[in-house]
Amino acid sequence: MPSSHCTNHHHCQETALATAEAHCDTYGERLTPNRRDVLRLIWQSHRPIKAYDLIDLMSAQDAKVKPATVYRALDFLLAQGLIHKIDSLSAFTGCSHPNQHDDCYFLICHSCGTAQECCSPLLADAIKSEAKQQDFKLTRTVLEIAGQCAACHEITPHMAGEEAR
Amino acid sequence: MPSSHCTNHHHCQETALATAEAHCDTYGERLTPNRRDVLRLIWQSHRPIKAYDLIDLMSAQDAKVKPATVYRALDFLLAQGLIHKIDSLSAFTGCSHPNQHDDCYFLICHSCGTAQECCSPLLADAIKSEAKQQDFKLTRTVLEIAGQCAACHEITPHMAGEEAR
DNA sequence: ATTGTGATGTTATAATATAACACTTATGAA
DNA sequence: TTCATAAGTGTTATATTATAACATCACAAT
């Protein structure tokens, strides 16, 4: 696993939940049981997880959780900057640093399915500068880099085409 | 409209179709009537267009076009590098330079709905260099910058929050 | 206690995308 | 030319992702 600029997914689940609690306290938001459950499951997955996989995980044999329940929690967590949506995967992943939520990018490995959250002020500045040159007022940047992570190509250099799972 | 590094959507439809013909000839691919129709409609839209909007446009009152028909054409055009999919919009837009299809990014305006295709070797290099630092083997980069384009904020500087349409 | 807001439950449906299989057409080898 | 093959299309069905609408509930602030 490459060393990361940011804390990454191994950043333990409990820490993330504690951070989220603190964040919500600070901003007067409520981390309700539903929202907490969704956030915990997102952190329990070591790769981006899809909404309907969350629904399945939350559904016991008797009590089926409905899409709206999960999507509402996801909307809340996104609004609070506690998670990211990876558009190129239609999947969700925890945010390691809710207070500097922007300027992140993701390294998405086709082999192991992980999406490492990274920050680079240099890259963020380069992007802002490009936008400025075009006289474009930037409000959100999506940077998703797909390929193969260090761990995977070191282990299986000949299997560069392998897919996750 | 900001001046662009690349030819942009005003790059006329006929030119794009001619380029596509040439491209297919060169690579021994077939730009069938279906594929050509889809490509033409994509270029006729001056903003990224959704698959189901293409289906509607292609469906006369009698002959309804089915999703698979359009999605197959889209798959072909994507594979040939003749169009891009904008993941953050689930929409498709023409590619101005099929032979240097990668290293592009998009400036997506919330006000007018356009997505300007841009290239910046500098930015592309910065991204490659970031990936390299993490020992990540890059295969595809998605860079989608959302905000407000020059034309829109010059015309309606007070309406920065306005949505397209 | 009351009341208003935010959160949830529930049903339904919209929007996006693919699978599977039958049939047709183009192409190239015999 | 004809046949075999591969590529493309038509069609039906279904999977996947996401939202709308409305009723009810829970909480917190008066």
Task: Flag whether B43 is in a domain.
Answer: yes
What is the CB neighbour count within 10 angstroms for residue A76? 20
Query: So what's the pLDDT on residue A5?
Result: 41
Task: Flag whether B96 is in a domain.
Answer: yes
**Does the structure show a pLDDT above 90 at B1?**
no
**Does the structure show a pLDDT above 60 at B3?**
no
CATH number at residue B66: 1.10.10.10
Phi and psi, residue B90, nearest 5°: 50, 50
Task: Flag whether A136 is in a domain.
Answer: yes
Question: Cβ distance B9 to B46 under 8 Å?
Answer: yes
Looking only at the bridges linking them, the beta strands covering A83-86 and B115-119 are: unpaired
Chain centre distance of CA A10: 13
What is the CB neighbour count within 10 angstroms for residue B72? 15
Residues B145-157: tens digit of each pLDDT: 999 999 999 887 5
Write out which nucleotides of chain C lie closer than 7 A to a protein Cβ: 6-13, 15-20, 26-27
Cβ contacts of B4 on chain A, cutoff 8 Å = 134
Query: So what's the pLDDT on residue A98?
Result: 78
Q: Which two tokens stand for residue B124?
A: 């592309």
pLDDT bracket for residue B28 (50, 70, 90): very high
- b/e string for B12-44 if b means 16 or more Cβ within 10 A? ebeebbebbeebbeeeeeebeeebbbbbbbbbe
Task: Flag whether B46 is in a domain.
Answer: yes
Identify the bridge partners of residue B131 per DSSP, sorted by sequence position: none
Question: Cβ distance B91 to B85 under 8 Å?
Answer: yes
Task: Flag whether B152 is in a domain.
Answer: yes
Q: Is A31 on the interface with B (CB under 8 A)?
A: no
Task: Flag whether A138 is in a domain.
Answer: yes
d(CA B111, CA B162): 6
Residues present in chain B in total: 165
Question: Cβ distance B113 to B89 under 8 Å?
Answer: no
Question: Cβ distance A160 to A148 under 8 Å?
Answer: yes
Cβ contacts of A87 on chain B, cutoff 8 Å = 87-88, 142, 144
**Number of domains within chain B:** 1
Task: Flag whether B122 is in a domain.
Answer: yes
Q: Which domain holds residue A99?
A: 13-156
Quick check: ipTM above 0.85?
yes
Q: What is the mean pLDDT of residues B116-140?
A: 95
Q: Which segments of chain A are extended strands (E)?
A: 83-86, 91-94, 104-109, 115-119, 137-148
Residues B72-120: tens digit of each pLDDT: 999 999 999 999 999 999 999 999 887 777 789 999 999 999 999 999 9
Instruction: Provide CB contacts within 8 A for A92, sequence distance 6+.
Output: A42, A48, A49, A50, A51, A54, A74, A77, A83, A84, A85, A86
CA of A70 to C1' of C9 (A): 12
Mark the ranges of chain A whose per-residue pLDDT is less than 50.
Answer: 1-7, 9, 160-162, 165
Q: Which segments of A34-158 are extended strands (E)?
A: 83-86, 91-94, 104-109, 115-119, 137-148
**A18: distance to nearest CA of chain B, Å?**
28
Closest-CA residue of B relative to A117 is: B134
d(CA B152, CA B157): 7
Task: Flag whether A57 is in a domain.
Answer: yes
